[in-house]
Amino acid sequence: MTVKIYGPTASRAARALWIVHELGIPFEHVAMEMKDLKGAEYLKINPNGKVPALVDGDFKLFESMAINLYSISPPSTARTASSRQVSRIRRCAISGASGA
Ligand SMILES: N[C@@H](CCC(=O)N[C@@H](CS)C(=O)NCC(=O)O)C(=O)O
């Protein structure tokens, strides 16, 4: 499955883009304009209106380091419901630690 990575390359989205590129994970880059980050459509993906965000099927994740931890997990484990919950918890932990 192709994952979508949202965010311009001149942003923290570069981290998420770099890792999927390095790992050979099929991806679609949705570059986004910074002015569109607070639009209703994008807020459904990241309610904070920031980039990057990842969409993998019906799973949405934001926080660049949480996205990278998700991306480096083997698909067979990362894409299970329990692993996705772990990814959300990591996202909360990383947001708290970074103050973002
Ligand atoms: N800790 C977050 C930071 C995300 C962040 O602040 N992204 C910036 C771009 S590098 C952004 O979306 N800024 C838009 C805004 O704050 O309105 C992460 O690493 O993903």
Domain 3-98 has CATH 3.40.30.10: yes
Residue 29 has pLDDT above 80, yes or no: yes
**Dist. CA 62 → ligand 1 center (Å):** 10
Average pLDDT over residues 19-30: 95
Q: How crowded is residue 4: how many other Cβ atoms within 10 Å of its Cβ?
A: 15
Average pLDDT over residues 62-89: 90
The structural domains of the chain, with segments of one domain joined by +, span: 3-98
Tokens of 100: 């973002």
Strand order in the sheet with 27-30: 27-30, 3-6, 53-56, 59-62
Sign of CA dihedral 14, 36, 48, 83: negative
Please state, in angstroms and rounded to a whole number, the distance separating the CA atoms of residues 9 and 32: 9
Q: What is the pLDDT of residue 26?
A: 95
Q: Which tens digits make up the pLDDT trace of 35-46?
A: 999 999 999 999
SS3 37: coil
**Dist. CA 87 → ligand 1 center (Å):** 18
Q: What is the pLDDT of residue 100?
A: 63
Global pTM reads 0.91
